[in-house]
Amino acid sequence: MSYRRILLKLSGESLGEPDTGHSIAPAAVESVARQVASVVAQGVEVAIVVGGGNILRGADFSKNGVHRASADYMGMLATVINALALSAAVEQAGVETRVLSALEIHQVAEPFVRRRAIAHLKKGRVVILAGGTGNPFFTTDTAAALRATELGCDVLLKATKVDGVYSADPKLDPTAKRFTELAYMDVLQKGLRVMDSTAITLCMENGLPVVVFNLFEEGNIERAVRGENLGTTIRSQV
């Protein structure tokens, strides 16, 4: 394996129904769990940050008159629901997990403490990180970049529904070009909508490579961890 410790960023929609991305689809959760268990079995330490967009997206909900901070906290709670569902599936696949939340909900999750999370990883447990950063106005992409940096991960694997970063939306523009490699500054200057600028800047400042790949092809998580030519890699120099 090319990486010893990884952070896998999952959108909430990746756990949702195939046609809408809404709710929680057991088959989708089980597919992710199988892939994660396969990687752990080969000695890789895995942390996961999961979004909540399949249940509620705070930024969108705030447009209905709810204060943005309150809407974002609702979105953070949605990530806890997803984390618990994913935890159960990974344990069904034979791997021990721990859910750590930036929001303190002692009945269902441990509070996020960096040293505690690292100790779990060293014991071979999958650490599922919920609640975003614990602060409104920050995306789960930023949470993923922050946690990957805090935990000393070798790479941030951003799982998506497309096979990399394109110059335009490939569904709308048939001439859109897929990039195999990008520099952090390319993403910022071109305004490529792969991660928000705060997340990309945090990765750039800490030299954390990002691999964007298609989650929905079975085995792609393992391929990404092996360092195969998959999706788009974002790093300092191209």
Q: Looking at the DSSP assignment, which residues form a beta bridge with residue 179?
A: 165
Distance (Å) of CA 75 to CA 50, 53, 125: 11, 7, 26
Q: Which two tokens stand for residue 126?
A: 């999958």
**Nearest CA among 191, 195, 169, 165 for reference residue 178:** 165
**Nearest CA among 77, 57, 86 for reference residue 134:** 77
Q: What string of pLDDT tens digits covers the 238 residues of the chain?
A: 799 999 999 999 999 998 899 999 999 999 999 999 999 999 999 999 999 999 988 888 888 889 999 999 999 999 999 999 999 999 999 999 999 999 999 999 999 999 999 999 999 999 999 999 999 999 999 999 999 999 999 999 999 988 999 998 888 888 999 999 999 999 999 989 899 999 999 999 999 999 999 999 999 999 999 999 999 999 987 6
Q: What is the SS3 assignment for 110-150?
A: EECCHHHHHHHHHCCCEEEEECCCCCCCCCHHHHHHHHHHH
Q: What is the pTM of this model?
A: 0.95
5: phi then psi, degrees, rounded to nearest 5: -135, 125
The parent domain of residue 197 ranges over 5-235
Number of domains the chain contains? 1
**pLDDT value of residue 238:** 65
CATH for 123: 3.40.1160.10
* Enclosing H/E stretch for 225: helix 220-226
